[in-house]
Amino acid sequence: MHAISKSTDSERYARCIRASKRVRWDIDEDVIQGRSFDRSQKFLPDGLSLVQEFTTLAVDEKRFVSQIQGRTYANMFGLVERFINAKVLEVSRDHWLGDQVALEALVLQLLVAEPHQELFRRINDLVGATLPAGYHFDVNPDAVAGVVLSKSTWAVLALTLDIELFTQLHYRHSIEPDAELSALFKDVFLYHWKEESQHAILDELEWKRHDAELTVEARDRAVDEFIELVGAVDGILQAQAASDAGYFAATCGRTVDEAETQAIEAGFLKAYRWQYIHSGAAHPLFGKILSSLITADQGQRIQAALDTLH
């Protein structure tokens, strides 16, 4: 039984290698293609930006909200790719003197991680050249990575799978028919998704492999650490929602009073929690893998923590 599951895993690593070699893309030639952003278009699709929640805003103001969120999207991915990259490098060590197919698959994942960070830096700069000055994203990716990587590998791999699965769901939202959605941002979703599909498979394989080595007590602690990590992500989202609401109020061209600014901030936070926490946590595959590794009581602890983030 063990031998069968091992050969199936090897085949999945091998399939990831073939797929990553097939889908490789170039930031300039394939994604950006010399284009810049256009303020008459939305940057994030409505299914992610939740602009319908911003009930006090006019149509063009809602579009501006999607553009601010697009810039934050680029910055959030620049942030998470940093710690994911470091963790992949670390877990690849387990395969150095063992499964060379698994090692190659993880090394290929590492090779695309820097281009992903570069892509999101370029997108941040391009959006910055289009929108008014005054936007801030003051979170240091290395400082966040330091906090994340201080937690157990089980907890970090759980968060990583969550993230790499939600990028796939985000892509699906971006292909829903919407003539006002930026073609450049659609391509960012498309090309990112092509590689994240492989990454999610590798995350699952590495997470299960690591999980099999844990004691019951260590896994129970790791569940709490995963909850702490989700809380840390939420702290970043709360700060960014406040920053982005303040930026909107200062640059939208009309007076926005304190009560409306608070409503706009709540809208940003709801959208960010959907984009960076709930869209992954509610992903059917994430739920399936997570529940196969933990007890019902641990599942309830995680669900109770997620329920507080609404």
Distance between CA atoms of residues 45 and 185, nearest Å: 9
Site track 197-216 with Fe ion (rule: CB under 5 A), x = hit: --x-----------------
| Ranges within 116-155 binding Fe ion (CB under 5 A) | 116
Return the range that interacts with Fe ion (CB under 5 A); candidates 109-117, 135-143, 171-179, 242-250: 109-117
Distance CA 173, CA 31 (A): 18
Among 12-20, 45-53, 55-63, 110-118, the segment contacting Fe ion (CB under 5 A):
110-118
Compare residues 54 and 286 and give the one whose CB is closer to Fe ion. Answer: 286
Token reading at 100: 């060379």
> Shortest approach of Fe ion to residue 81 CB, angstroms?
5
Other CB atoms within 10 Å distance of the CB of residue 99: 17
When the beta carbons of 199 and 283 are compared against Fe ion, the nearer one is 199
**Interface mask toward Fe ion for 171-200; x: CB under 5 A:** -------------------------x--x-
d(CA 290, CA 298): 10
Q: How far is the CB of 263 from Fe ion (least distance, A)?
A: 33
Shortest Å distance, C-beta 30 to Fe ion: 15
User: Radius of gyration over alpha carbons of the chain, in Å?
Assistant: 20
Quote the CA–CA distance of 256 and 61 in Å, as a whole number.
12
| Minimum distance from residue 116 beta carbon to Fe ion (Å) | 4
Size of the site for Fe ion (CB under 5 A): 3
| Smallest separation, CB 172 to Fe ion (Å) | 16
Q: Which is nearer to Fe ion, 192 or 210 (CB)?
A: 192
Q: How many Cβ atoms sit within 10 Å of the Cβ of residue 207?
A: 21
Taking CB under 5 A as the rule, does residue 82 contact Fe ion? Answer: no
Structure tokens, 156: 């970090």
- Compute the C-alpha angle 133/135/136, nearest 5°: 140
Residue 177 exposed, middle or buried by CB count within 10 Å (0-12, 13-18, 19+): exposed
Residue number with CB closer to Fe ion (196 or 206): 196
Q: Which is nearer to Fe ion, 196 or 244 (CB)?
A: 196
106-130 per-residue burial string, b: 16 or more CB within 10 A, e: under 16: bebbeebbebbbebbebbbebbeee
CA angle 279, 280, 286 (to 5 degrees): 135
Select 184 or 294, whichever has its Cβ closest to Fe ion.
Answer: 184
CB of 164 to Fe ion, least distance (A): 5
Nearer to Fe ion, 162 or 234 (CB): 162
Q: Smallest gap, in angstroms, from Cβ of residue 88 to Fe ion?
A: 8
Name the site residues for Fe ion (rule: CB under 5 A).
116, 196, 199
